[in-house]
Amino acid sequence: MDRTLSVLRASRLEACGKELAGLGGFGLFDPEATDADAERLFEQSYYKEEDHEVRLHSLEELRMRVLSQFPAEMGLLNQDEFTLLLKLSLFGGEMPVFDWNDLPAARSLVYRMWCRIRPEKGNWIHMPRQLCVSALMMLASEELKTVRDVVGEIIDTADNTLYLAGMMPAEVVAKDMGFRLQESLAADKPELYTRLIRSSFVTTLNRDGRLMIVHPGLAEPVAAARSPHPFGGGMDQEALSELYNSLMDVEDPLYDRMMGLIQGLCRQETGEEDTVEDLILLAKQDAPLEEMKEVLASRIICLPTEEMISALKDLHDWIPKWNTLNMERLQ
């Protein structure tokens, strides 16, 4: 069975599209909305994960909560969400979601109760005028730019850590946000840090109920997170940079060799870069060589040559495995 990043990504986007299509109905700021809608919106929002008290919710209460934390939360969006928010603000609060890569960002904005989906128009996304105006006003804020620069750096560092280790505790990223965003408009917002993490990464729980973020190419994240020796991870940028550069010294020649061998031979629906990336990620998970051969054979228009098989074996043997890297030393 193909368990590559390409297949996992397509499966997640398909599931996201189906979920998004079911999130229609009145939005939080629609004049026709009722308190019954408020309860439905709460149930499909990030708030449900964050609030531990079981009680009924009113439109007025939820509107006040959303508006009060909108400035800080705008700084704590991932780049895809921020780009979609900007487009919505500039286009008057409504636009179609045609690009599959926009689906996760659209879903997250709905989870934040900022937007609603209009399935009757063919999956258009709508954001109320007051939030559009607030967003455009916030764009002139230097403080917002500072927060977004910090957030971008933290996400990049976490991405590099995941490439090195496959998995890391979400609390490490949240702790780094809390430390680096002191004295900013996003200071002391742990629930918003967790929202950013959930919207930016694939997440799962380990056997102790600890939230973990995982590389999107990890085929069995639940099993990995609940193994006796779960992955660790730190955010020491200098140490990470040194380790990452060392890893690239090993991987780059292997990548270049395989890329050269399959150049121009991949099937129309695949690409050389995606194919080599998928093979490297399989190697990081210590996938059997035979499984890697099957993936390679399915992606090219000819039978794998002896030189391709030799290059594939080198990928399998020399790519450092996620379950053998000791990331705890970086904490």
Give domain limits for the chain.
5-138, 142-235, 237-324
Predicted TM-score (pTM) of the model is 0.89
Query: How does pLDDT run across 112-138, given as a tens digit for each residue?
Result: 999 999 877 777 999 999 999 999 999
Give residue 325's pLDDT.
58
Query: How does pLDDT run across 302-318, given as a tens digit for each residue?
Result: 999 999 999 999 999 99
For residue 230, pLDDT beyond 50: no
In the predicted model, what is the mean pLDDT of the chain?
90
Give residue 330's pLDDT.
39
C-alpha to C-alpha distance for 287 and 281, rounded to whole angstroms: 9
For residue 180, pLDDT beyond 70: yes
Q: State the average pLDDT over residues 101-106.
A: 94
